[in-house]
Amino acid sequence: MAETMKVKLVKVEDAQLEILAEYDLIGFGSGIYNYNHHKTLIKFIENMPRLDKNVFIFFQLPVIIGRSIIILLKRSLNEKDCKIIGEFTCFGEFRPLRFKI
């Protein structure tokens, strides 16, 4: 995605909160783990200052979860005064837990 759009891609672990102000558009993406976005993304957004920025969201999710998971991420971003201008989701693989007895 970054190569096609000629944009900078940064892992959440390497992102710096103070640099967000320099960008006109910010994308947030994550896989879904245990019915939630990756914990590093959630923590980053929680620690993020209020921004008057356009953002977009993208992630892959298992079919079983459906699109309701998007509501939590949207709520978190809206609380930070972000305007969500686009979203993309696609269905991924679902692997049920298997236990040996």
Tens-place pLDDT, residues 19-55: 888 999 999 988 777 777 888 998 999 999 998 899 9
List the chain domain ranges: 22-30+39-101
State whether the Cα torsion 71-39-91-4 is positive or negative. Answer: positive
Q: Is the pLDDT of residue 69 over 90?
A: no
Q: Which residues contact 43 (CB under 8 A, 6 or more apart)?
A: none
In DSSP terms, 91 is beta-bridged to 61
For the entire predicted model, the pTM comes to: 0.77
